[in-house]
Structure 1
Amino acid sequence: MANEHFDVLIVGAGLSGVGAGYHLQTRSPDRSYAILEGREAIGGTWDLFRYPGIRSDSDMYTLGYAFKPWTEAKAIADGPSILRYVRETARDHGIDCHIRFGHQVTRAAWSTADAVWTVEATHAGKPVRLTCNFLFLCGGYYSYEGGYTPEFPGAERFRGVTVHPQKWPEDLDYAGKRVVVIGSGATAVTLVPEMAKHAAHVTMLQRSPTYVVSRPAEDKAANWLRARLPAKLAYDIVRWRNVLFGMYFFRMARRKPAQVKAGIIKMVQDALGPDYDVATHFTPTYNPWDQRLCLVPDADLFEALNAKTASVVTDHIETFTETGVKLKSGAELPADIIVTATGLNLQVMNGLELTVDGRRIDPGRTLSYKGMMYEGVPNLASAFGYTNASWTLKCDLTCAYVCRVLNHMQATGNRQATPHNADPTIGQAPWLDFSSGYVTRAMDKFPKQGTRAPWKLNQNYALDLMSLKYAAIEDGVLAFSNPAGQTKARIAKAA
């Protein structure tokens, strides 16, 4: 039985995969494509996570697609609103018709002789094979199988309920219960104020503090512009304003970390009052943007702390007990529910096993080209967003660049685009310069970035805009080869 063939196969029907479908239809409309989604729903992260208060920690004017204005009042949107936005995009542009649900991709093999990827997946428990000329990985950066939970001593002794936010039970009743949330990242600072509305008390237990900043959930200037200008124009203005401010703030954090740190700490102190121990609970030892900052809309976390419905404890866990958590300081935190908001398990290249002409690819031994393609791997790209800005900003640029590559191959009659490094002076560095635990645990498995362009991973939208939208495709590094007539000529010679 012949394999079903597409010009492009996209892996993942979340925010990135739906965006990829739109760009292909718009910029390379003559290409056939399908989206392989392992789950049974559109939305990726925004369908998977169901914990209380789930929301974005980026504004929707930059997390939203460049081509589809965000029109709701809240700029810091809740998960269900973002999910509706993604699904509406897929429906309105007919992208949903291209999605194959329940297709869990497991491996892909490239053949230079045929200039195709053979992609293997499972569907309804049975193996499925498809082929494509270009493979676009849009399945995010973490495993959907489960989040990261450390081995806590005595965890089996706890008689209450333990839950990880990635696997939130639909029937979990926390009203009137004592809750301990272990962690201090974006998920924890979202959960604590939301659960505190109904729980008896919520304690955020952290080993060390995180930078937490507040901003209004609604962007008054954006809403003012939307009421007076066409939706797309207002959206573009606010999007660029937010992009430029984010770049400015990140640059300031790198150049004057002590000054930025002092400003953040002062804002927290002002929100919590002069008697709150901000030095212990909200003053990290690292500089701003060495890890991602946590955003709380309308200061909801600080309001919960001031209302005494929530509290923060900075300590280390000695052991779980039957009734809660015992700390190394000797204190005990009683709990009916323990939430382990302890992070994600990062997954390189969507967990696929890749081979090129029978040679297995070890992603950790490759260089990343422009943050989206990989040294020695033909006709494959992955969508990976920014760590210091909204995910979609980079993914929009990546999708457009993939279309440029596809169109260039068609125009030149080549079937293969492969990044090659012929410069022995290019050094290597970790793909992400981030000290967060979930990053450092997995970086050895991820591709490396180089010390110079085009191998250097920019965390800068303006630089990527120039590199991916305006720079020449033919750069001496991305090699175009394997012309369309090559196979016919080889067959004729053999005959």
Structure 2
Amino acid sequence: MTQPEFDVLIIGAGLSGIGVARYLKTRCPDQRFAILESKPRIGGTWDLFRYPGIRSDSDMHTMGYAFKPWTNARAIADGGAILNYIRETAEENHLTQMIRFDHQVKSATWSSAEQIWRLEVLHDGGIRSLTCRFLFSCAGYYRHHEGYLPEWPGYEDYQGQLVHPQFWPEDLDYSGKKIIVIGSGATAVTLTPTLAQKAAHVWQVQRSPTYVVSRPGEDEFANRLRRWLPEKLAYPITRWRTIFGSAKRRKRMVANLEGTRKMLIGAVAKELPPDYDWKTHFVPRYLPGQQRICAVPDGDMFRTLSEGKASMVTGEIRRFTPTGVEMTDGTHLEADLIITATGLVMESLGGLEIVVDGQAVDRSKLLIYKGFMYSNLPNLVYFTGYTNASWTLKVDLVADYACRLLRFMQRKGHTQVVPAANEADVANVNSALKFISGYVVRAAHRLPKHGKAWPWIHEQDYFWDRKTLKRGRIDDGTLQFSRGTPVRLPAAQIAEGSDQVAAE
């Protein structure tokens, strides 16, 4: 058995990575670890996205860490405030010195004989190797270097400026310009009211509507409570109040989807002028819960539309023209600037190549184990969030569990843990997400899958996860522990050409 350079390597220094590192440092102080960050800065998503108005789409009392109070008056916070919060956490816990910046992980190879992960890492133009016993992936769920862009006829003919929000130019001046924002998700409904403050006019062009709801930008209860109580007491009260309130609303929604649909649409109609065509622009084709509901702070989107500073255009784009876009109904929109807020390219484990004992792993054939490990992949934990609640709620639970797992293995003398799935388990799958958002549907064929029964399921339920992860047994009968047993991948999980990988 080989002694690795690190006990744990964490991929990613964003909201998840910094939070997980803090758990590891405080709960498992004897573990040698480092954080590998592909960019030269902390922040992940909140460093990458820099478009005007960038903000959270859920409240920061649950999107913030359980261990660090969110003290900003804004519950739906801007990106800069969130980035500062992440940086503060890193500095307060002396984590910055644990980060290796400009380290992009390209592949991870597991050796049962050595009981280590060997990572190939791109740094300073060259590839270097790092080894660890455990790999924690906090790389998120999408490609940072590539946003999704549909193919439109005439796209190359457009003579104005084209921008994808994922790569916003720092020097872009949009004052006084006519702007088209293509998209209907959280990015589009954030950009439209923000750009409209300086633009000549903004048209938000969407193929079909999404559910949009106005939410207060500030949580008055939380702000009052902070004046009365110490922060360490006020924060958990607000956090739990929000968690229970959100869970109650979701339960009501699931019990009465049609009633929720009518309520959401009715609320939008009340926000807009009586003669506004909300039926065309704000009545989705799907039921609530099949995509994330877009929150707009203090109704800024509806106010912008009501004031005539922006317009909604719902329909298909026929083609781009030299001066704008032409819709299928013949409408032509002219613009100086077109912003393609058309979504993300979804990806698991940051896209890195995985090899186990010489066999390349087909990630699309992996089963999700309890929403944080994958079938037959040893000593690997990934951190992701909820689709129906704040991201960090799940990350906190998994970080706590991962530390319990490490301590359990240390006590028992184990060096390897594998969620063991057989051929029948791997063959009996469902889609990994019951979501119809475009970025999910486009990537479904290459993502890990759900099984038909627990534990091969990622439950979108905080209270279920809290029960099973914080109180459930580590040795649950599915996890197999050992000190070097070779991993046997089911044939379905071996990628084509893996014999060549092993030979090379």
TM-score w.r.t. length of structure 1: 0.96
Query: For residues 465 and 39 of structure 1, what CA distance do their matches in structure 2 show?
Result: 33
Query: For residues 196 and 425 of structure 1, what CA distance do their matches in structure 2 show?
Result: 52
SS in 1 for 2:283: coil
Contact 2:180 2:204 in 1 (8 A): yes
Partner of 1:196: 196
Partner of 1:274: 274
SS in 2 for 1:287: coil
Which residues in structure 2 correspond to 1:226-265 (within 5 Å)?
226-265=226-265
Partner of 1:314: 314
Instruction: Give the number of aligned pairs.
Output: 483
Partner of 1:222: 222
Tell me the amino acid that sits aligned with residue 61 of structure 1: H
Partner of 1:475: 476
Contact 2:4 2:116 in 1 (8 A): no
Query: For residues 96 and 430 of structure 2, what CA distance do their matches in structure 1 show?
Result: 39
Query: For residues 366 and 386 of structure 2, what CA distance do their matches in structure 1 show?
Result: 20
Partner of 2:464: 463
Query: For residues 411 and 35 of structure 2, what CA distance do their matches in structure 1 show?
Result: 25
Query: For residues 4 and 49 of structure 2, what CA distance do their matches in structure 1 show?
Result: 32
Offset at residue 479 of structure 1 (A): 0.9
Instruction: Give the 3 Å change call, closer, same or farther, for CA 319–425 of structure 1 in structure 2.
Output: closer
Contact 1:3 1:130 in 2 (8 A): no
Tell me the amino acid that sits aligned with residue 292 of structure 2: R
SS in 2 for 1:441: helix
| 1:170 has 2:173 as partner | no
Partner of 1:285: 285
Offset at residue 248 of structure 1 (A): 2.0
Contact 1:3 1:129 in 2 (8 A): no
Offset at residue 254 of structure 1 (A): 2.1
Query: For residues 234 and 24 of structure 1, what CA distance do their matches in structure 2 show?
Result: 25
Instruction: Give the 3 Å change call, closer, same or farther, for CA 94–421 of structure 1 in structure 2.
Output: same
Contact 1:375 1:418 in 2 (8 A): yes
Query: For residues 271 and 139 of structure 2, what CA distance do their matches in structure 1 show?
Result: 38
Query: For residues 111 and 160 of structure 1, what CA distance do their matches in structure 2 show?
Result: 53
Instruction: Give the 3 Å change call, closer, same or farther, for CA 422–298 of structure 1 in structure 2.
Output: same
Partner of 1:358: 358
SS in 2 for 1:465: helix
Partner of 2:136: 136
Contact 1:175 1:198 in 2 (8 A): yes
Partner of 1:410: 410
Tell me the amino acid that sits aligned with residue 92 of structure 1: E
Runs (5+) with no aligned partner, structure 1: 485-495
Partner of 2:500: none
Partner of 1:154: 154
| 1:23 has 2:23 as partner | yes
Partner of 2:401: 401
Query: For residues 298 and 241 of structure 2, what CA distance do their matches in structure 1 show?
Result: 20
Tell me the amino acid that sits aligned with residue 373 of structure 1: M
Query: For residues 410 and 214 of structure 2, what CA distance do their matches in structure 1 show?
Result: 48
Query: For residues 217 and 30 of structure 2, what CA distance do their matches in structure 1 show?
Result: 41
For residues 284-320 of structure 1, give each alpha carbon's deviation from its aligned partner in whole angstroms, at most 9, with x where no partner exists.
Answer: 0100110111010000000100110001010110111
Partner of 1:493: none
Offset at residue 241 of structure 1 (A): 1.5
Offset at residue 277 of structure 1 (A): 1.1
Partner of 2:372: 372
Partner of 2:34: 34
Instruction: Give the 3 Å change call, closer, same or farther, for CA 247–423 of structure 1 in structure 2.
Output: farther
Contact 1:413 1:483 in 2 (8 A): no
Partner of 2:57: 57
| 1:79 has 2:63 as partner | no
Contact 1:160 1:338 in 2 (8 A): yes
Offset at residue 245 of structure 1 (A): 1.9
Instruction: Give the 3 Å change call, closer, same or farther, for CA 235–423 of structure 1 in structure 2.
Output: farther
Tell me the amino acid that sits aligned with residue 440 of structure 2: V
Identity %: 53
Query: For residues 318 and 350 of structure 2, what CA distance do their matches in structure 1 show?
Result: 35
Contact 2:7 2:32 in 1 (8 A): yes
Runs (5+) with no aligned partner, structure 2: 486-504
